[in-house]
Structures are given as structure tokens and as C-alpha cells.
């Protein structure tokens, strides 16, 4: 039987840039993963957060000082127009390029592209505090906000309007397309450049799009990834209002329990991951380390007539599409890297989707859930999770899911837990889904 991959341009992963609660860089990330060490704990960098008991997955080693000194030395002038999410995204992309040993100057810059995902970005409340107070009369105990003062308070007002007190470059710090812009500028990557904003599906969709761009011959090298956070003064409030968040008297590292019968909710987190994609022949010619070959990708968005998300159908559609694109059957998959949010409903819907697609094989295919180590970084989760599988496969194992103690009859999956699972089949299906019913699936084969 003819291999369906033979007629396609072979695209491989050669570089990883990882900024996660488990550490910065592939070595630190793998060290924590191999030790079964969670990155979830007490939050230390934020002054205020709505996360229960101030628990989350924080990139502790990354701050304004280390960003300038260690990760974004050449971007010191532009750091002032990067919020933390953008800084993490740019740093991960630059690290991925460094990790793969690519000589950027030897690349045709017109065929060097960037595809990067992000969440919607929000200003912390303290950024808007002073502009808002300008619109309130001093001594007004009722705190009446005068909207007319925000943009125009009359010709004698000077700059004493809300907008007049705002940082001049405020908007540039919070645009979700800015990671891709800064990365393109930093690398002199003049080829295809796109930004995706689809919450938790952003990372896999960005990598999938970069894969497509290279397959059709429109680029020779792509940097693809995503950055995101739910560990944020505003976003954590949204999470508290909208989502099931874990809260327990148990140690924080035990809170995220994907597919377990005793799961109690997701844990908010932050992070960023980036991959370098190259054509296989070019990567081999420069003796690059190849982590995986891209095989297939799929995506779907499903809502019902009342506007309610249907994550089960979306995930099933995306997985079937990715399998079809890769020319594979469900039994060809070595393991599934699941979305594994840790909430009651999401895990049940995801398990049902896997059952729908894998049928009789579903009870045998190994499943792992990396959010048990790092929490939910929103748009930042997909590439970090996929990278966990790629690093595991380099060592011949599937990383175990943490905190899986009691199987749930509503999630009848073969969840890898306790110890790493030795494997020979290095084909992995990675999936993510959003609360709005947007799903992404990506299939790669470890080198």
C-alpha cells in the first residue's frame, strides 16, 4: 500500500521554545515532566487574582528583569509595548529558533514566516486607574463617572481627560496580533505572518496553519506557537464567573485531576510554546535534531441552533479530519494528548468524542493530559502539551497524567497514570477545544 505521506512535502519539527510553570526551556520542561513534578502552586507574581486560594500555574522564573537580561536582550526598546503575554510569546519563539540551531541569516527571509496564536488581552485594572479618576469629581462620595470627560472635556481642559492620562502606546501592549509582529521583526521573517485568537485551540491551529503554508510551498521555515494566560487580574475574574475552578484543602499540585472521578475543576495558568518547522531535507542537510514529522491536521466549530457550544461534535469532527488528512485509521495512533481540562463536563464530553471516533479501540489507546502538570494557560496550552508528548517520545515514553486515582465510568479511557508508559508507536494525536465549541486536532510522528 502506498504511503500517503510520500507524495507530500515532508515538514518536521526541529526546535522547541517552552515557557511554562514546569520551567523554561526544553531541558527544564523535560526534567519536571520526567520527575512527575507539577508546576501548580501558590501565585507569587500577581498582587491580586481571583483564583481560589491564590493557586495557579505561574512561569515563576520569568519577570521584567529576567526578560530584559536573559530572554529579550535585543528587544529592550520594544519591551515597553509588550504586556506579559506578548513577552512570553516572543521569548518562546526566539528560544525555539536558538534551540534548533538555525542560522537565521542563511534563510531566505522572504520565505521565513510566523504563525502565532494568543488570547484576547486585557489591561490590568491599575493601568486604567488614573485615567478613570480624572473623570470623577474629587470628594464625590457617590463616585459618579463623567463619561463626557473621557475623550473630550471642553477646549479649556487640556490633557485632563481620561484619554489624555492614558499611556500613549497603551493599545499596542494588548493587541493579540502583536506577538506575531514582534517575532517577525526580531527574526527578519518577511514571509507569511498570521495571528489566531481562538482561546485554547489557538496553539494547535497556528501550528496546523504553518504546516499547511509549508506543505503548499509558500515558506521554507515557519515559527509557530501561541501564548496565553488565565492567570491575570481580569481573566481570573472571568474564569471565576464562567468556569468550574478547582478548590480544595489538598496540596495545590493535586487540584487538576483530568478524567478522574473526583475531578474538581480547572486550574488557571499562563505559558507560551513555539515550534520551528522546516522541510525535512533541509533539516537533515544541516544536521538538525528532528523531533517529529507533521502528518495531518483538522479543525471544527460546532454550535446548536440556540448558540450553545457542542464540544463533543467539534472534537470528533476535528479528529476525523486529522486522521483523514494523515491517511491513518484510529488504530494507527500511538497515544492521544488530550485537552484534559479537569472539569466535570468538559472531560466527559471529550471522552465521549474519543469514543465516537475510536470506537472499539478507544479503551486501548493510551491517553495523557498535561494540564495536570501546568494548569490551563488558555491559548498557551496547546503547544506546551504537544511538546510534552514530543519530549516523551524522544525518551520512548508517554508521560503519565498526574492525580488520576479513580476511573470515572463516564470517561472510559485508557488514561496513562502512575508511571510513564513505554511505547514503540510514536504517532500522537493532540487535541484542544474551547468553551465556544472550536476544536483543533494535530497528528505528528515522533522521530
Q: What is the pLDDT of residues 304-323, one digit of tens each?
A: 999 999 999 999 999 999 99
Closest CA to 40 of 180, 248, 195: 248
| Assigned CATH class of 11-121+176-446 | alpha beta
| 253 torsion bin: left (phi>0), alpha (psi -120 to 50), beta (else) | alpha
Structure confidence at residue 3 (pLDDT): 60
Q: pLDDT band at 155, cuts 50/70/90?
A: low
Structure confidence at residue 1 (pLDDT): 42
User: In sequence order, what are the residues at sequence separation of 6 or more whose Cβ sits closer than 8 angstroms to the Cβ of residue 103?
Assistant: 286
Residue pLDDT, tens place only, 417-447: 999 999 999 999 999 999 999 999 999 999 9
Is the per-residue pLDDT at 332 higher than 80?
A: yes
**Mean pLDDT of the residues in the chain:** 94
Strands 193-196 and 221-229 turn out to be: unpaired
Q: Which DSSP letter does residue 71 get?
A: I
Is the per-residue pLDDT at 403 higher than 90?
A: yes
118 forms beta bridges with 227
Is the per-residue pLDDT at 297 higher than 90?
A: yes
Is the per-residue pLDDT at 141 higher than 80?
A: no
Is the per-residue pLDDT at 38 higher than 80?
A: yes
Structure confidence at residue 161 (pLDDT): 85
Domain chopping of the chain, boundaries: 11-121+176-446
Is the per-residue pLDDT at 158 higher than 90?
A: no
Structure confidence at residue 412 (pLDDT): 97
Lowest mean pLDDT among 130-134, 158-162, 376-380: 158-162
SS3 assignment, position 48 = coil
Is the per-residue pLDDT at 378 higher than 70?
A: yes
Please report, rounded to a whole number, the percentage of residues in the chain having pLDDT higher than 70. 96
Is the per-residue pLDDT at 20 higher than 80?
A: yes
Q: Which DSSP letter does residue 219 get?
A: -
Distance from chain centroid for Cα 13: 17
Residue pLDDT, tens place only, 336-373: 999 999 999 999 999 999 999 999 999 999 999 999 99
**Cα–Cα distance for residue pair 232/75, rounded to 1 Å:** 24
Q: Which three cell numbers stand for residue 117?
A: 496564536
Q: Which three cell numbers stand for residue 243?
A: 468556569
Q: Which three cell numbers stand for residue 340?
A: 484534559
Q: Which three cell numbers stand for residue 425?
A: 508507536
Which stretches does DSSP call E strand in 134-269? 193-196, 221-229
The predicted model scores a pTM of: 0.95
Other CB atoms closer than 10 Å to residue 364's CB: what's the count?
10
**Cα–Cα distance for residue pair 296/211, rounded to 1 Å:** 9
Structure confidence at residue 111 (pLDDT): 98
Residue pLDDT, tens place only, 94-138: 999 999 999 999 999 999 999 999 999 999 888 888 898 888 988
| Contact present, 51 and 231 (Cβ < 8 Å) | yes
Amino acid at each position: 500500500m502506498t504511503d500517503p505521506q510520500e507524495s507530500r512535502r515532508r515538514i518536521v519539527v526541529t526546535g522547541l521554545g517552552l515557557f511554562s510553570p514546569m520551567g523554561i526551556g526544553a531541558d527544564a520542561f523535560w526534567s519536571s515532566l520526567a520527575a512527575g513534578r507539577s508546576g501548580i502552586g501558590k501565585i507569587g507574581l500577581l498582587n491580586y487574582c481571583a483564583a481560589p486560594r491564590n493557586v495557579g500555574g505561574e512561569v515563576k522564573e520569568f519577570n521584567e528583569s529576567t526578560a530584559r537580561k536573559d530572554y529579550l536582550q535585543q528587544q529592550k526598546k520594544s519591551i515597553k509595548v509588550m504586556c506579559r503575554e506578548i513577552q512570553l510569546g516572543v521569548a518562546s519563539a526566539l528560544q525555539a529558533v536558538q534551540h534548533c540551531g538555525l542560522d537565521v541569516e542563511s534563510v531566505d527571509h522572504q520565505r521565513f514566516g510566523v504563525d502565532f496564536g494568543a488570547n484576547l488581552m486585557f489591561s490590568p485594572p491599575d493601568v486604567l486607574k488614573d485615567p478613570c479618576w480624572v473623570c470623577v469629581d474629587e470628594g464625590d462620595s457617590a463616585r459618579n463617572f463623567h463619561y463626557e470627560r473621557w475623550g473630550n472635556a471642553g477646549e479649556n481642559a487640556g490633557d485632563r481627560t481620561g484619554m489624555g492620562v492614558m499611556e500613549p502606546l497603551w493599545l499596542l501592549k494588548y493587541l493579540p496580533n502583536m506577538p506575531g509582529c514582534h517575532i517577525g521583526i526580531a527574526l527578519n521573517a518577511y514571509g507569511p505572518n498570521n495571528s489566531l485568537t481562538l482561546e485554547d485551540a489557538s496553539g494547535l491551529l497556528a501550528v496546523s496553519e504553518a504546516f499547511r503554508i509549508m506543505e503548499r510551498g509558500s515558506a521554507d521555515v515557519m515559527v509557530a506557537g501561541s501564548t496565553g494566560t488565565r492567570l491575570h487580574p481580569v481573566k481570573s475574574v472571568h474564569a471565576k464567573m464562567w468556569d468550574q475552578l478547582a478548590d480544595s484543602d489538598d496540596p495545590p499540585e493535586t487540584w487538576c485531576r483530568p478524567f478522574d472521578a473526583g475531578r474538581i475543576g480547572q486550574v488557571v495558568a499562563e505559558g507560551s510554546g513555539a515550534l520551528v518547522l522546516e522541510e525535512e531535507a533541509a533539516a537533515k542537510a544541516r544536521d538538525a535534531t528532528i523531533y517529529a514529522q507533521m502528518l495531518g491536521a483538522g479543525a471544527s466549530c460546532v454550535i446548536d441552533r440556540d448558540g450553545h457550544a457542542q464540544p463533543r461534535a467539534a472534537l470528533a469532527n476535528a479528529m476525523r479530519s486529522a486522521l483523514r488528512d494523515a491517511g491513518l485509521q484510529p488504530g494507527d495512533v500511538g497515544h492521544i494528548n488530550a485537552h484534559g481540562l479537569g472539569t466535570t463536563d468538559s472531560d466527559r464530553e471529550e471522552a465521549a468524542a474519543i469514543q465516537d471516533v475510536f470506537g472499539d479501540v478507544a479503551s486501548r489507546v493510551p491517553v495523557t493530559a498535561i494540564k495536570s502538570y501546568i494548569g490551563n494557560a488558555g491559548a498557551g496550552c496547546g503547544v506546551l502539551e504537544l511538546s510534552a508528548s514530543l519530549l516523551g517520545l524522544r525518551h520512548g515514553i508517554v508521560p503519565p497524567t498526574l492525580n488520576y486515582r479513580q476511573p470515572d465510568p463516564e470517561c472510559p479511557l485508557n488514561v496513562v497514570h502512575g508511571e510513564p508508559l513505554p511505547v514503540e508507536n510514536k504517532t500522537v494525536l493532540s487535541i484542544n477545544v474551547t468553551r465556544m465549541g472550536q476544536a483543533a486536532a494535530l497528528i505528528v510522528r515522533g522521530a
